[in-house]
Amino acid sequence: MIDILRQLFQDRFHAPVERVQPLQGQLGASGRKIIRLAGGQTTAIGVLYDVREENAAFLEFSRHFRKHGLPVPQIYAANLDQGAYIEEDLGDLTLFDFLSRNRSGEELDAEVIGAYRKVVDVLPRFQIEAGRDLNYKFCYPRAVFDAQSIAWDLNYFKYYFLKLAGVAFNEQSLEDDFARLTKFLLSARLDFFLYRDFQSRNVLLRGGDPWFVDYQGGRKGALQYDIASLLYDAKADIPPALRQQLLDRYIQRLADFTDIGRDEFMRHYYGYVYVRIMQALGAYGFRGFYERKSHFLQSVPYAMKNVRWLLRNVELPIALPSLMDAFGRMAASERLQSLNAKDGCLAVRIFSFSYRGGVPPDETGHGGGFVFDARGIPNPGREERFKPLTGKDAPVIEFLDREPSTRAFLAHASSLVDASIDAYLRRGFTSLTVSFGCTGGQHRSVYFAEQLAKKLRGRKGVEVMLRHLELENLNK
């Protein structure tokens, strides 16, 4: 099949292909074969894919978007009968790669934030400016993100994620919620271009500017879906404050193109956030649980982080009790939280908790791990000045650092954990749980969990996952 790409390249550039480089992952889980072709000083990207309708949609949309001056690859040549085409080479730097290389935990470099702002600024041009006169007859498999499209996504989530992840639910009650959610989503305006997979791996950066690919699944739909896809892109793990800034910027940008106001937009926005997260989880479950491609499951804990934030901070204008119950079970699942450990790594899950609420249950099947009782350490919570603070705040940290018993407790706990990690790594184990408890789960337990996580992060072969259970409950 590569010979077809070679011929297309030679016919277009009047030069033979001298180098062929298969590329992995540029278009995610789509199943396409992506190949860089080079001859002399010329390079192009070749694509092999046997779904004619999707290829035709990509080629038509690419030509249409370029006519509107949008930054998408030029199509050099195509052979639809053979499922092959060659396009402009936009390089290898995706927005996701740029984000990953230029962040420190929750802190993103200014250049990353600037790149996201550029992406947000362009999105309405795809959705509204170019969407007005696009030929939707080329859309595949549906011309509109309608009830059928939504049903496919929701069932994808139910059968390939909830069932395979072992999340309990009442099937009829969940179906009733799906019907209510679908009706609500379709009450938004649907006369815009919906890019469908508008996320950081489908944006390439060249010369500091964004270029866009993988829009062949586009169709008519609501504005809210695409910005939700970008801002709740699981593994990109965009901090909530930045998500809000980018959402505000997008809504302001919309005013240049449409009369949809903020209130109308926001009424449906979080419903589309949820349905996009469900679509993504269905894909992770299909590729990970069903096809056993474990790297897809590494995105699940990041999606669970987004779910926990939504459950604490968002109330939808419709009642979806069964669906919200399923999300609550997912968010609390230690099995799902441990999935981002890389192959060959030991997942060390660290918890702080309150003894009033009980020791965290083991959901991994490995029997629990260490539970350290920090109630013998002097309690900052007894002093009025510390009551509104937590073990992550500097005054509490300074208070506990001054106590000799604190240092001894942490040293003994760390020594035991270190010895187990060494043994677990030698024996190929994949999971270890360490829990710190105190009376309220707010000061001492949080402090020790933070200190141990800080010590273990960066250790070769170890993936650290940290949760403060009582603090999560307080923030609900």
**Residues 331 and 362 placed together within one structural domain of the fold:** no
**Residues 228 and 100 placed together within one structural domain of the fold:** yes
Q: Which of 44, 69, 87 is the last residue of a domain?
A: 87
Q: Which of 277, 309, 336 is the last residue of a domain?
A: 336
> For residues 421 and 384, what is the distance between their CA atoms, to the nearest angstrom?
38
Give the confidence band of 365 by pLDDT, cuts at 50, 70, 90.
low
Mean pLDDT of 264-283: 98
Mean pLDDT of 386-404: 95
Side-chain half-sphere CA neighbours of 18 within 13 A: 9
Look at residue 63 in the predicted model and tell me its pLDDT: 98
DSSP 13: H
Look at residue 367 in the predicted model and tell me its pLDDT: 59
User: Among the residues of 256-345, which ranges form H helices?
Assistant: 262-285, 300-313, 321-332, 334-337
In angstroms and rounded to an integer, the radius of gyration of the C-alpha atoms of the chain is 25
Residue 476 has pLDDT above 60, yes or no: no
**Residues 444 and 354 placed together within one structural domain of the fold:** yes
**Residues 216 and 155 placed together within one structural domain of the fold:** yes
**Residues 22 and 131 placed together within one structural domain of the fold:** no
For residue 68, give the CATH number of its domain. Answer: 3.30.200.20
Residue 443 has pLDDT above 80, yes or no: yes
Handedness of CA 331, 333, 337, 342 (dihedral sign): negative
Mean pLDDT of 264-275: 98
Q: Which of 87, 112, 134 is the last residue of a domain?
A: 87
Mean pLDDT of 452-456: 94
> For residues 33 and 44, what is the distance between their CA atoms, to the nearest angstrom?
14
For residue 273, give the CATH number of its domain. Answer: 3.90.1200.10
**Residues 128 and 256 placed together within one structural domain of the fold:** yes
Look at residue 27 in the predicted model and tell me its pLDDT: 44
End-to-end CA, the chain: 55
Residue 377 has pLDDT above 50, yes or no: yes
> For residues 285 and 451, what is the distance between their CA atoms, to the nearest angstrom?
33
Give the confidence band of 339 by pLDDT, cuts at 50, 70, 90.
confident
Q: Are 2 and 20 in contact (CB under 8 A)?
A: yes
What is the average pLDDT score of the chain?
A: 92
Look at residue 26 in the predicted model and tell me its pLDDT: 45
Residue 299 has pLDDT above 80, yes or no: yes
Total of domains in the chain: 3
Look at residue 364 in the predicted model and tell me its pLDDT: 59
340 or 288, which is more confident?
288
**Residues 10 and 142 placed together within one structural domain of the fold:** no
Of the candidate ranges 82-96, 127-141, 291-305, 440-454, the one whose mean pLDDT is the lowest = 291-305
**Residues 164 and 37 placed together within one structural domain of the fold:** no
**Residues 310 and 172 placed together within one structural domain of the fold:** yes
Torsional class of 208: left (φ above 0), alpha (ψ -120 to 50), beta (otherwise): left
**Residues 315 and 420 placed together within one structural domain of the fold:** no
**Residues 99 and 220 placed together within one structural domain of the fold:** yes
**Residues 74 and 101 placed together within one structural domain of the fold:** no
Look at residue 28 in the predicted model and tell me its pLDDT: 44
φ, ψ at 83 (rounded to 5°) = 65, 45
Percent residues over pLDDT 70 in the chain: 95
Look at residue 213 in the predicted model and tell me its pLDDT: 97
Give the confidence band of 292 by pLDDT, cuts at 50, 70, 90.
confident
Look at residue 344 in the predicted model and tell me its pLDDT: 59
Query: pLDDT tens digits for 85-112?
Result: 999 999 999 999 999 889 877 789 999 9
> For residues 242 and 248, what is the distance between their CA atoms, to the nearest angstrom?
10
Percent residues over pLDDT 90 in the chain: 79
Note down the domain range covering 73: 2-87
Look at residue 245 in the predicted model and tell me its pLDDT: 98
| Model pTM score | 0.74
Look at residue 205 in the predicted model and tell me its pLDDT: 98
Look at residue 347 in the predicted model and tell me its pLDDT: 84
